[in-house]
Amino acid sequence: MADKSIIGADLGATTFPVERGKIREFANAILDDNPVYQGDDPVAPPTFTMTTAFWPRSSDTPLPDLGLNYARVLHGEQEFEYLKPLKPGDTLTGRTKISDVYEKEGKRGGTMKFIVSETSFTNQDGDTAIIARQVLVETSKAAS
């Protein structure tokens, strides 16, 4: 059964500067040659905050053990809501919480466990700049 006790769990926060070189590198990786990303005054591409997904996080509380087999974890869904543009020089703090956990019978990978998390990115002025929602799926066999 899906462990509902982790709903609401704090997965910690990470603070990072929005850097021009990283914007350029990320735009290159998504095959975007738009000159705006190469210039003096770029904005961050829409999915740019994914670059912080693997940064170390600090948490006021112990990080929960999500009990996942990461060899079977797929990215199911991702959603972004943009409230403020991201520019080099901004400092963002992203705080992530588990917002839902549930199970479904799937066609592609047997019984699937869904873990929904939400990350709220706040800028240096204290304004929420981006809200990201992610659904991870743990499959019981390799998805086809």
Residue numbers of the site for other proteins (CB under 8 A)?
22, 25-32, 34, 36-37, 43, 45-47, 50-55, 70-72, 74-82, 85, 141-143
Rounded-to-integer distance, Cα 26 and Cα 16, Å: 15
Give yes or no for a contact between 43 and 87, defined as CB atoms under 8 angstroms apart: yes
Beta-sheet pairing, 110-122 with 128-139: antiparallel
105-129 residues labelled b (16+ CB within 10 A) or e (exposed):
ebeebeebbbbbbbbbbbbeeeeeb
Minimal distance, residue 28 CB to other proteins, in Å: 7
User: At its nearest, how many Å lie between other proteins and the CB of residue 108?
Assistant: 8
Q: Indicate the SS3 state at residue 36.
A: helix
**Choice between 54 and 126, CB closer to other proteins:** 54
In the complex, the smallest distance separating the C-beta of residue 114 from other proteins, rounded to whole angstroms, is: 12
Identify the bridge partners of residue 15 per DSSP, sorted by sequence position.
93
Least Cβ distance, residue 66 to other proteins (angstroms): 16
